[in-house]
């Protein structure tokens, strides 16, 4: 689907049209019961003379006899926000390369409370959660870590004294891997140690791959477990040596930090993985159109119910 924002607003201006989009995306081969998986289902059409017609988009399973709509068992379940606003919110988040704040989304989809907009964003990010990987990264794989937080020179003196230590003190770290020309993966790590980072690399990277990293001591010894390992000395001002560099990953980190600085200004460590999942999900689909990404996000929301008290990553 190749569609722009104006066409989207015109085509899915009401909830009924948005529901049709969700049904065709979730059930391309026909509706199935989200409770038992049966395809022996039928739509409940309200009678013209009915005094208590069922809600729109209602289905019933011929096997388990339960009723359902397309939102059951998805990120949309239990939401009172019209589905056309959900479709619009997903499109906007997918089209915003450096993210969009919940406050901005609230203004664009008004009337909507900030609390509802914030929860919508987290539900959509939950749909973008990194799934168990189908395969290992191969070829040339860059690995690196980054720390999320403001610069010490911009902090109040009392906070600088409280944090102490290096410039990374008090900042949550993200460890990431990227296959050159391929996918980006990563997540928050409790501590940047050789045991933690090497464990993740072993799980995510094929032994035939060549690892590129900086000179961090956590990466020492990778050449004995993989086809090759080269490190560039950032501390000595070295950033490229032939094919040895981590610039692909540095570029991704830069975009992610621009998203935080420009759109969100601050995010808590509790929700860091959610924001990273959103960013890496869009990064890995950078060659898809905005409409295609919207449909992928809708499809990815299946089986991912999120309640308000559970937004933490």
DSSP-assigned letters across all residues of the chain: ----HHHHHHHT-SHHHHHHHHHHHH-TT----TTT--S-EEE-PPPTT-SSPPPTT-EEETTT--EE-TTTTBTTTT--S-HHHHHHHHHHHHH-TT---HHHHHHHT-S--HHHHHHHHHHHHHHTPPPPPSS-B-SEEEEEEEE-S--GGGS-HHHHHHH-SSTTTT--EEEEEEETTS-EEEEE-S---HHHHHHHHHHHB-TTSEEEEES-GGGTTGGGTSSEEEEE-GGGT---BTTB--HHHHHHHHHHHHHIIIIIS---GGGHHHHHHHHHHHHTTTTS-HHHHHHHHHHHTBT----TT----
For residue 19, being part of any structural domain is answered with yes
For residue 194, being part of any structural domain is answered with yes
Cβ proximity of 201 and 191 under 8 Å: no
Closest CA to 197 of 210, 207, 188: 188
Which pTM does this prediction carry? 0.88
Half-sphere exposure of 242 (CA within 13 A, CB side): 4
Q: Looking at the 3D structure of the chain, how many domains does it have? A: 2
For residue 271, being part of any structural domain is answered with yes
Cβ proximity of 205 and 136 under 8 Å: yes
Round to whole Å and give the CA distance between 35 and 33: 5
Cβ proximity of 192 and 218 under 8 Å: yes
pLDDT at 154: 64
Are 124 and 192 contained in the same domain? no
Per-residue tokens: 157:
């003196």
Are 209 and 118 contained in the same domain? no
pLDDT at 171: 85
Q: What are phi and psi for residue 66, nearest 5 degrees?
A: -90, 150
Per-residue tokens: 93:
């988040």
Q: Whole domain around residue 174: which residue ranges? A: 140-276
Are 263 and 296 contained in the same domain? no
For residue 307, being part of any structural domain is answered with no
Tokens 């039928």 belong to residue: 42
Are 99 and 172 contained in the same domain? no
Per-residue tokens: 92:
């906007």
Q: Which residues pair with 135 in a beta bridge?
A: none
Are 124 and 154 contained in the same domain? no
pLDDT at 166: 53
For residue 114, being part of any structural domain is answered with yes
pLDDT at 133: 63
Residue-level pLDDT, tens digit, the chain, 313 residues: 789 999 999 999 999 999 999 999 999 999 999 999 999 999 998 777 777 767 889 999 999 999 999 999 999 999 999 999 999 999 999 999 999 999 999 999 999 999 999 999 999 999 999 776 668 999 999 999 999 976 666 666 666 555 554 556 678 999 999 999 999 999 999 889 999 999 999 999 999 999 999 999 999 999 999 999 999 999 899 999 999 999 999 999 999 999 999 999 988 888 999 999 999 999 999 999 999 999 999 999 999 988 887 776 5
pLDDT at 55: 80
């Amino acid at each position: 689907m190749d569609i722009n924002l104006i066409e989207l607003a015109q085509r899915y201006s009401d909830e009924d049209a948005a529901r049709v989009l969700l049904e065709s995306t979730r059930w391309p081969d026909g509706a199935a019961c989200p409770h038992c998986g049966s395809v022996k289902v039928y739509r409940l059409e309200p009678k013209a003379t009915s005094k208590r017609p069922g809600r729109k988009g209602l289905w019933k399973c011929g096997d388990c006899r339960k009723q359902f709509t397309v939102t059951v068992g998805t990120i949309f379940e239990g939401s009172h926000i019209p589905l056309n606003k959900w479709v619009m919110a997903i499109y906007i988040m997918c089209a915003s390369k450096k993210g969009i704040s919940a406050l901005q989304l609230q203004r664009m989809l008004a009337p909507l409370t900030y609390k509802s907009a914030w929860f919508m964003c987290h539900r959509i990010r939950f749909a973008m959660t990194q799934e168990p990987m189908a395969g290992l990264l191969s070829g040339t794989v860059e690995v690196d870590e980054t720390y999320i937080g403001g610069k010490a020179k911009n902090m109040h003196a009392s906070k600088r004294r409280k944090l102490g230590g290096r410039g990374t003190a008090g900042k949550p770290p993200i460890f990431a891997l990227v296959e050159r020309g391929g996918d980006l993966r990563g997540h928050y790590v409790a501590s940047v140690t050789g045991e933690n980072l090497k464990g993740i690399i072993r799980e995510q990277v094929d032994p035939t791959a060549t690892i590129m990293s900086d000179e961090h001591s956590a990466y020492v010894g990778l050449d004995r477990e993989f086809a090759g390992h080269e490190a560039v000395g950032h501390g000595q001002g070295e950033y490229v040596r032939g094919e040895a560099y981590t610039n692909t990953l540095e570029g991704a980190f830069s975009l992610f930090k621009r998203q935080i600085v420009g759109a969100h200004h601050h995010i808590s460590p509790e929700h860091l993985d959610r924001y990273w999942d959103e960013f890496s999900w869009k990064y890995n689909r950078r060659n898809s159109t905005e409409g295609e990404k919207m449909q992928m996000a809708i499809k990815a929301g299946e089986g991912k119910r999120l309640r308000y008290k559970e937004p933490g990553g």
